[in-house]
Chain A
Amino acid sequence: MSEDETRIAAPLRTDGLAVRYPTKKAPSLEGVSLEVGRGERLGVAGRTGAGKSTLALATAGFIPRVVRARLDGRVMIDGLDAAAAPADALLGRVGIVFATPANQLSASKLTVREELAFGLENLGVPRAEMDPRIDGTLDRLGIAHLADREPFALSGGEQQRVAIASIVAMGTTVLVLDEPTAQLDPAGTAAVADLLDELAKAGAAILCAEHDPSVLGRMDRCLVLDSGRMVALDVPGTALALAAEAASLTPPTLVRLAEAASLDLARAFDEPAVAAGLRAWADAGGVARELAHGATTATTAAAAAAGSIAAPPLPGPAWTPARERAPVRVAVDGLVHRYPGGVEAVRGASLRVDPGEAVAILGQNGSGKTTLVKHLNGLLRPDEGRILLDDVPTDGRSVAELARTVGFVFQNPDDQLFERSVEREVAFGPRNLGIATADVANLVVGSLAAVGLLEERTTNPYDLDLSRRKLVALAGVLAMDPAVLVLDEPTTGQDVDGVERVSAIIEAFRGAGRSVVAITHDMEFAARHFSRIVVMRAGEVVADGPPGLVFAPGNATLLASTGLTPPPAARIAARLGLDTVPLDAAALLATLRS
């Protein structure tokens, strides 16, 4: 086939695509030309606001038909001009899946089978053909066992796979996904990535906007966007390395390891290959390569490899305590919690958090993590056991009173934002606590500076994107000046910048003798910024210790039973048979050099 024919055959193509929303001055996408062939998976990476979602909407034919925006250039789907074609014509050719699993389903169907039938009904497929098509799709995607389950009783990962199956059952050749794993646990994320592999093998063209390197690394190619423009389009390793360089950020661990040992970046996500390459590199003396990008000298590269170069400084100061306050010890003692209906969500969990500690709680969705932490500020009350703050039981103290000591940031910022400006929103908590006005002003400014939103103080929170709305919610709790900070999934929906911000605040909080408890699905985040890892399974604490112990190779079976894997650096170290457990790329390289 000639190159021209390939071009025509590519089910998804954009030529000089540019999108501008009516409310924005700058275009959200500019000059994007790409092709996704049959059986190809194209990952789309970039910071929040870089244009990933806009590209997803445009390639799914939603702009300008559903979302109002000016579209220049062309989007061709299966040879049809998406902007000009009627909705009917695109149906069954292209489909899109978004981040929130529950919102992807029609919300009215009693079984997964009926959910898949919904799209076929809309296409006008005769009823006799529906069952074979539904069964075929479910079989092919390996989720036949879900056919007769109720969609809303499924886990997020299962719901997301059903949502994808519902689109695929319609016969779509082009599948677009906008951060499909953002709200899933590691097992759910892996299952969705596996499913994309299957779809690609069956000939689908896939465009997937993502933050998670473990998903991006499995794509065939990766497009990196920055301010709406293409920065890189290459195999994932190379593209992500270039993107990190352009933004002066740390690349994903595996890419960084491959770079340091001069491996082929195309194989950066092939863990056995990276391990083998690193062994050869260490045997040859372990000199970190002069990094191809930037004016990095051999010495600084070596220093970087030894971990002595800090992360690039963030604009603005990290969090500093505005007021002195005494440290508080938290103890959870034999906690049991039953939900109405008798489900035991927490079954005898005990936990201590000392001042200056940061504890990450890991585990699959449904393992009882959120139920446990909701006891710390009295949102839930123990059925058995006790919660102690400085050895005083919390029984009988109201949530509002406990809020003076324990700050709780929820996963979904939209459950709390209501004020007309960021500043007023952040002042809501400290005002409720009756903190003096002058102090409130200081606390508000301090917390907004810590999350980097000082310049947005008069903006309406709902004019900010999700990642920044999450930061507003975090600032709102920081401003209450708590001794203990509880975070539920602080990094979901955050890009690398956002994660760095949250990490810096956690470090600063610990430094001030206060403590942090966070629920997270991000193993690397947990390993790098927390002094202790607590693993929960079926309502019980099954592991509790420093990251180096919990992520040790000896725990691999235990972790796997909870759907977790150690962070990448620890996984590579285990492959190399090292007896230490490095938590990031720098630590692993340093171990190998010594």
Chain B
Amino acid sequence: MSATTGYYVAGSSWLHRRNPLTKLLALALVLLSAFLLPPIVLVVLVVVIVAAVWSAGLLRPTVRAMRIPALLLLSILVVNSLFFPGATDVLASLGPLSITRDGLTFGLISAGRVLVAFLASVAFLFTTLADDMLETLIARGASHRISFVILSAVQMVPRMQDRAGSILEAQQARGLSLEGSFVRRIRSLVPLIGPVLLGSLVDVRERTFALEARGFGARPNRTAYRIVVDPPIDRWLRLAIIGLCLGVVVVAVTGFPR
């Protein structure tokens, strides 16, 4: 992962070839469906997304990228199963802890939603160049400031990871120990997180100056060097996706047919 390409995995699969806007809309559709439609839809979404990344040859990097979110999903599941407030329908007990039906159900749904959100975002980031996204948004009339914020957000994680490595080394060299009790470990986070945040501010200032010097956003009649592909099929796809999004919202607002 580099600062230039973020999470982008070079390739020419059918997902790579879609226009960034098409993929952004598809991402919106997935998120709307995951959070507004009945939970059973989550299963369909997971199957569809996994099939899509598999057909694009990205199954392996996707699984690798899910390792850290997996911990989050697991904790959502465990915490809800055990500590869901007001739930009494006990399924199983282990000493003072008991798993409740309501808790387990809620945990599964929440974890499912987060899983879908992560999978869809990863599929988007893996197949979309940040710069293409930027060009597309600007060409569609988005303000350069909004585009810049999106671009920075995409690039921030790799940058911070880079810096975090150097900071960890610098503080270890000053005798910071990352072992010991839980409290000790939590305390050792302060000298690590402090420089990430403070240093990022210094970094952002310099980078903003550099963009300013290159005239980013100074003139309304911006031109584009890079040609972002937009095959005819994408226009039809976008129309279909927008229709589906509206459909999801209508169904959610009017109540589900029972």
Residues of B within 8 Å of A166, CB to CB, are 214
Taking CB as reference atom, which chain A residue is nearest B177?
A400
Which of B66-74, B80-88, B191-199 contacts its partner?
Answer: B191-199
Q: Given A107-B207, A108-B155, A462-B198 in contact, is the A123-B215 Cβ separation under 8 Å? A: yes
Q: Given A66-B209, A152-B2 in contact, is the A418-B198 Cβ separation under 8 Å? A: yes
On chain B, the number of residues with a Cβ less than 8 Å from chain A's Cβ atoms is: 52
Question: Is B149's beta carbon under 8 Å from chain A?
Answer: no
Contact of A417 among B4, B195, B212, B221 (CB under 8 A): B195
Question: Is A561's beta carbon under 8 Å from chain B?
Answer: no
On chain A, the number of residues with a Cβ less than 8 Å from chain B's Cβ atoms is: 67
Report A88 CB to chain B, min CB distance, Å.
5
Which of B44-52, B55-63, B115-123, B128-136 contacts its partner?
Answer: B128-136
Bound state CA distance, A152 and B130, in angstroms? Answer: 15
Question: Is A566's beta carbon under 8 Å from chain B?
Answer: no
Report B153 CB to chain A, min CB distance, Å.
12
Report B21 CB to chain A, min CB distance, Å.
17
Which of A91-99, A389-397, A521-529 contacts its partner?
Answer: A91-99
Bound state CA distance, A150 and B214, in angstroms? Answer: 19
Taking CB as reference atom, which chain B residue is nearest A167?
B213
**By the criterion CB–CB under 8 Å, are B172 and A403 in contact?**
yes
**By the criterion CB–CB under 8 Å, are B4 and A110 in contact?**
yes
A residues 89-113 in Cβ contact with B at 8 Å:
91-92, 95-98, 100, 102-110
Bound state CA distance, A428 and B216, in angstroms? Answer: 41
Question: Is B206's beta carbon under 8 Å from chain A?
Answer: yes
**By the criterion CB–CB under 8 Å, are A416 and B171 in contact?**
yes
Residues of B within 8 Å of A428, CB to CB, are 174, 191
Q: Given A108-B151, A130-B225 in contact, is the A433-B171 Cβ separation under 8 Å? A: no
Bound state CA distance, A107 and B154, in angstroms? Answer: 11
Report B212 CB to chain A, min CB distance, Å.
5
Taking CB as reference atom, which chain B residue is nearest A411?
B166
Question: Is B217's beta carbon under 8 Å from chain A?
Answer: yes
The contact string, 1 if C-beta is below 8 Å from chain B, for chain A 373-389, is 01001010000000000
Bound state CA distance, A462 and B226, in angstroms? Answer: 40
Question: Is A260's beta carbon under 8 Å from chain B?
Answer: no
Q: Given A108-B134, A170-B214, A400-B172 in contact, is the A120-B151 Cβ separation under 8 Å? A: no
**By the criterion CB–CB under 8 Å, are B223 and A126 in contact?**
yes
Residues of A within 8 Å of B207, CB to CB, are 103, 107
**By the criterion CB–CB under 8 Å, are A415 and B175 in contact?**
no
**By the criterion CB–CB under 8 Å, are B170 and A399 in contact?**
no
Taking CB as reference atom, which chain A residue is nearest B165?
A415
Q: Given A62-B209, A124-B219 in contact, is the A414-B198 Cβ separation under 8 Å? A: yes
Residues of B within 8 Å of A379, CB to CB, are 169, 172-173
Bound state CA distance, A114 and B195, in angstroms? Answer: 32
Bound state CA distance, A415 and B198, in angstroms? Answer: 9
Contact of B170 among A88, A416, A462 (CB under 8 A): A416
The contact string, 1 if C-beta is below 8 Å from chain A, for chain B 143-171, is 00000000100010000000100110111
Question: Is A480's beta carbon under 8 Å from chain B?
Answer: yes
**By the criterion CB–CB under 8 Å, are B214 and A152 in contact?**
no
**By the criterion CB–CB under 8 Å, are B129 and A110 in contact?**
yes
Residues of A within 8 Å of B131, CB to CB, are 108-110, 114
Report B216 CB to chain A, min CB distance, Å.
5
**By the criterion CB–CB under 8 Å, are A480 and B175 in contact?**
yes
Bound state CA distance, A88 and B218, in angstroms? Answer: 5
**By the criterion CB–CB under 8 Å, are A108 and B174 in contact?**
no
Taking CB as reference atom, which chain B residue is nearest A479?
B174
Residues of A within 8 Å of B206, CB to CB, are 98, 100, 103
Bound state CA distance, A429 and B226, in angstroms? Answer: 50
Report A181 CB to chain B, min CB distance, Å.
16
Taking CB as reference atom, which chain A residue is nearest B201?
A462
Bound state CA distance, A110 and B2, in angstroms? Answer: 11
Residues of B within 8 Å of A124, CB to CB, are 219, 221-223
**By the criterion CB–CB under 8 Å, are B225 and A415 in contact?**
no
Residues of A within 8 Å of B176, CB to CB, are 400, 432
**By the criterion CB–CB under 8 Å, are A433 and B175 in contact?**
yes
The contact string, 1 if C-beta is below 8 Å from chain B, for chain A 194-206, is 0000000000000
Report A410 CB to chain B, min CB distance, Å.
5
Report B4 CB to chain A, min CB distance, Å.
5
Residues of B within 8 Å of A293, CB to CB, are none
Taking CB as reference atom, which chain B residue is nearest A486?
B173
**By the criterion CB–CB under 8 Å, are B214 and A122 in contact?**
yes
Residues of B within 8 Å of A103, CB to CB, are 203, 206-207, 210
Report B155 CB to chain A, min CB distance, Å.
6
A residues 459-517 in Cβ contact with B at 8 Å:
462, 476-477, 480
**By the criterion CB–CB under 8 Å, are B155 and A107 in contact?**
yes
Report A179 CB to chain B, min CB distance, Å.
12
Question: Is B3's beta carbon under 8 Å from chain A?
Answer: yes
Question: Is A404's beta carbon under 8 Å from chain B?
Answer: yes
Question: Is B190's beta carbon under 8 Å from chain A?
Answer: yes
Residues of B within 8 Å of A125, CB to CB, are 223
Bound state CA distance, A123 and B222, in angstroms? Answer: 6
Bound state CA distance, A91 and B214, in angstroms? Answer: 8
Q: Given A66-B209, A408-B173 in contact, is the A106-B130 Cβ separation under 8 Å? A: no
Question: Is B22's beta carbon under 8 Å from chain A?
Answer: no
**By the criterion CB–CB under 8 Å, are A120 and B209 in contact?**
no
Bound state CA distance, A88 and B166, in angstroms? Answer: 39
**By the criterion CB–CB under 8 Å, are B210 and A122 in contact?**
no
Residues of A within 8 Å of B175, CB to CB, are 400, 403-404, 429, 432-433, 480
List, sorted by A's number, 16 A–B pairs whose CB atoms are closer than 8 Å. Answer: A60-B213, A88-B218, A91-B215, A95-B214, A96-B213, A103-B206, A108-B130, A114-B131, A119-B214, A122-B222, A170-B214, A403-B174, A410-B173, A415-B169, A415-B199, A417-B198
Beyond the given A96-B213, A105-B210, A403-B175, please list 19 additional residue pairs across the A-B interface where CB-CB is below 8 A. A91-B218, A98-B210, A107-B207, A117-B225, A122-B217, A126-B223, A127-B223, A127-B225, A152-B4, A170-B214, A400-B172, A400-B177, A404-B175, A410-B169, A414-B198, A414-B199, A414-B202, A477-B173, A480-B174
The 3 closest A-B pairs by CB, nearest first: A418-B194, A432-B175, A117-B225
